[in-house]
Amino acid sequence: MADYLTDEEQADRLKRWWDQNGTALVVGVALAVAAVVGWRYYQTYTTNRDNDASAAYMAYLEARETGEPTTDLLATLDSEYTGSGYHVFALLHRAADQVEEEDWEEALAYLERAAELTDSQVIADTARYRAAKVLYQLGRLDQALAQLAKIRSAGFRVDVAELSGDIHIANDDPAAARAAYVAGVEAAGQETANPPNIELLELKLSSMVDQE
Amino acid sequence: MVMQKMRAGAQGLAAKVLMGLVVFVLAVTGFGAIQLFSGSEPVVASVNGDDITERALQAEVNAHRRAYEDLGQDLTQEMLDSLVDRGAVLAAMIDQALLAQAADDLGLSMADEAVQARLRAEFARQGGFDEALFRNALASVGHTPTSFHAERFVHEVTGQLRRGLSDTAFLTSRELRRASEVVAQKRDIAWLTFRVPSLMDEVEVSDEEIAEHYDAYQENYVSEERFDFDLVRMPRSSLEADIEIGEEEVVAAYEAEVADAEPLRRAAHILLEVSDERSPEEAERILAGARASILAGASFGEKAREMSEDPGTADDGGDLGPSGRGVFPAAFEEALWALAPGELSAPVRTEFGVHLIKLISEEAEDPPTLAERREEITARLRREEADRRFQSVLDDFDKLAFEEEDSLLGLAGEFGLAIEPLDGATRRTREGLLAEKAVRDALFSDEVLVEGYNSSAVATADAEALVARLRTRHPPLQRPLEEVKEAVRLTLKEFGARGLAEQRALRALEELTGGKAPSDVSGEHGLSWERADGFRIDGQGVPLPVAELAFSMKAPGPGERNTDLARLDDGSQAIVLLTNVALADYGALPEADREQLATMFASSAGPRDLAAMLRTLRGAASIDAKDLSDPG
């Protein structure tokens, strides 16, 4: 029976098995080792990179706070960490600083760049919402509405509706404004947990005379 | 044959790749993966697969309770329970978990050393990092240094995310105008009130109705449960009489005081005031410029003479003279005491404006003489000794009250004190000793009321040591109908009057909508309309329910009016008439109003954007949370 093999036969089988499978085994193990090493290396690399971006951003915030020059730090974030979370935050800060200076065009440029560079839908939508505020300020009402129309994040529905309503009012279109405010109140009603504060929105709506 | 060999080879290859994968997973995740298969702690919520354990929730709830207790308020356990809602705490933890995941997706991170540096800064006391303080703080929240470090990392990166969104939010002037014209709008309103108190006279209540109500609601007509206590108390002042303070002790205390005395700090500053024309940031920028030029060699004194807006010191080069602590605003003091002689601070904001501070020198004061200090030191030592004695009396009270738990005789005898009565106390009594929460908690504890033991020792606000025990308990008694008849009659009259008010108000509302003139409606009931023209939402003089309703009603068209019904707190009903809505003209608002509105709306921009992000994250997440509204 095949169960009883001589040493020679066993050695022979082992050898044949090795001839058939040896290469695959060596390649498999080598691949696994390479994958583990590569993955670990990649993890360390990205973590270090994130930490460096974090440090650069914190240094920028610190300098901004104390009034020291920020140009170099911003240049580093712009060039080395383009599109990273920290770069986008820095863009949002610069936009807010420009708003403070009432340099609306510059603020708009930073916000549009932030929306374009980030991978995060919700951060991009935050930037678009703010860009719409700036366009509203500039009186470019159609462009403001177009920015709002691009927002996909569900959490912004109430805010988008309220701002659209305000823009329609500025555009002398009360019917559209009313529709937007009503949509905002309805959207707020669908938020079960932590519904947004819509006192002002409701007051805006109740201040409008019915046109029937 | 060839086929067979290939198939065998392929199977082998698949097995080997699988094997490789297992090795890979273990190597990458470490043996953490193995824990996936072992039983684990109870979980209250899972956020995209990240678990929040019962234990973590409880730790957070406890932290919230401690925060309230630290406020030093007079809070009972029940009040704490109602203040710290487990559901709300869990919701906040879920938000935090969502932010942590979002921060991770955005690649937000912080090097271990940076996290460590922040921990060290937080647990720093004079002379550097306080290891003991750090370990105590950790132990009290059930953390090890490693788990605390990990939590801090998450705290830091979620903080970056929160601030990255909320600190960058802004309000444009056009938004402010629009919000202001709506919030500061004026409404012309009138209201007609059907008052419960005046309608009560019209309601007749028979003796049968009173008896019927009394029978049905007997439990509402019982006397309160009363308690008679026995007390033993000892005033702290009786411990002070025979304290002798020796000369050596006074001298030793005096010498310690002199050794500890901190030198005065002679500071100079440059002050820039903040106004409408100059924001704090602007002032800081100017001072940062001045700082740079002083560091580059310019004279501080000359800069102060040139630009400081402190008229009292500018001419003296900003010199404020030598001062101790407690003289300057807190931020100024903190900055000044952080400086070494000759050093310059960064710009510091206080209520006076923005300062650039220089420490000129430290100057030791001539110490006061022993004779000057003797009286105060003696009084302090006497006070400290009395504190020690009082503490030891409290300990003895506690011990004796516990050892002989069913009588006060031993305790009273030991200290030569009388047993005093405190009779007729109820759970709602708030007079005398019972004005104090600590005393009430001790007297109305289970050990005293249920077990009948002595209370533990309490130090009262009047500095007495006190132990109490229950002598007699007077259970609540049913009060006879005769005694409460008038109270029942009033209740029923009020009830009837509410019905009447509602009935009449509804009819009057119908008549108004049907076109009847408001003056006819009021005249019919012998009532008159009250008016508030140009009423603002934050105005005074209109009952709150009327004002709230008036501002939720739709604006009427020209020459029209809208009507609705408001219910007042006492059950009275008010018909509200809205005749005009006028949006505010932002430019015409008083300056103070504009500033207030600007502050209010500007400060809500950040929280608003953050809330929108959290709603988005919640909506997109898979959250599986236990419903905590029912206990158990």
Q: Does the pLDDT of residue B505 top 70, yes or no?
A: yes
What is the chain B residue with the closest CA to A155? B616
Distance from CA of B86 to the nearest CA of A (A): 15
Pairwise CB contact (< 8 Å): B556 & A209:
yes
Q: Determine the pLDDT at residue B171.
A: 95
Q: Determine the pLDDT at residue B31.
A: 46
Pairwise CB contact (< 8 Å): A58 & B168:
no
Mean of the per-residue pLDDT values of chain A:
90
Q: Which of residues 40-79 of A touch B (CB under 8 A)?
A: 40, 46-47, 50-51, 53-55, 57-58, 66-68
Per CATH, the number for B262-363 is: 3.10.50.40
> B554: which chain A residues are within 8 Å (Cβ-Cβ)?
206, 208-210
pLDDT 10s digits, A40-60: 888 888 888 888 888 889 889
B1: pLDDT confidence band, cut at 50, 70 and 90?
very low
pLDDT 10s digits, A107-126: 999 999 999 999 999 999 99
Distance from CA of A6 to the nearest CA of B (A): 24
B507: pLDDT confidence band, cut at 50, 70 and 90?
very high
Among B170, B286, B535, B564, the residue to mutate for chain A (most A Cβ within 10 A): B170
pLDDT 10s digits, B524-547: 989 999 999 999 998 999 999 999
Among B85, B185, B286, B616, the residue to mutate for chain A (most A Cβ within 10 A): B616
Q: Can you spell out the DSSP letters for chain A?
A: -TT---HHHHHHHHHHHHHHHHHHHHHHHHHHHHHHHHHHHHHHHHHHHHHHHHHHHHHHHHHHHHT---HHHHHHHHHHSTTSHHHHHHHHHHHHHHHHTT-HHHHHHHHHHHHHH-S-HHHHHHHHHHHHHHHHHHT-HHHHHHHHHT---GGGHHHHHHHHHHHHHHTT-HHHHHHHHHHHHHHHHH--SSPPP-HHHHHHHHTSBP--
**B2-169, superfamily in CATH?**
Porin chaperone SurA, peptide-binding domain (1.10.4030.10)
Q: Where are the domains positioned within chain B?
A: 2-169, 186-207+482-582, 226-243+373-474, 262-363
Whole-number percent of chain B with pLDDT over 70: 91
Mean of the per-residue pLDDT values of chain B:
86
Section B481-490 average pLDDT? 91
> B602: which chain A residues are within 8 Å (Cβ-Cβ)?
none
Q: Determine the pLDDT at residue A104.
A: 96
Q: Does the pLDDT of residue B271 top 70, yes or no?
A: yes
Q: Determine the pLDDT at residue A209.
A: 87
B406: pLDDT confidence band, cut at 50, 70 and 90?
confident
Q: Determine the pLDDT at residue A144.
A: 97
Section A153-158 average pLDDT? 94
Q: What is the 3-state secondary structure (H, E, C) of B287-347?
A: HHHHHHHHHCCCCHHHHHHHHCCCCCCHHHCCEEEEECCCCCCHHHHHHHHCCCCCCECCC
Whole-model pTM over 0.90: no
Section A83-89 average pLDDT? 91
* Contact A110/B at CB under 8 A: no
Q: Determine the pLDDT at residue B6.
A: 45
Q: Determine the pLDDT at residue B38.
A: 44
By mean pLDDT, which of A29-33, A120-124, B601-605 is the weakest?
Answer: A29-33
What is the chain B residue with the closest CA to A126? B609
By mean pLDDT, which of A150-164, B82-96, B119-133 is the weakest?
Answer: B119-133
Q: Does the pLDDT of residue B189 top 60, yes or no?
A: yes
Q: Does the pLDDT of residue B73 top 80, yes or no?
A: no
Q: Does the pLDDT of residue B167 top 80, yes or no?
A: yes
The partner residue sitting opposite A204, judged by closest CB among B110, B182, B284, is B182
What is the chain B residue with the closest CA to A209? B555
Per CATH, the number for B226-243+373-474 is: 3.10.50
The residue with greater pLDDT, B502 or B123, is B502
Is B262-363 the same fold as B226-243+373-474?
yes
Section B134-153 average pLDDT? 77
Distance from CA of B14 to the nearest CA of A (A): 10
What is the chain A residue with the closest CA to B617? A155
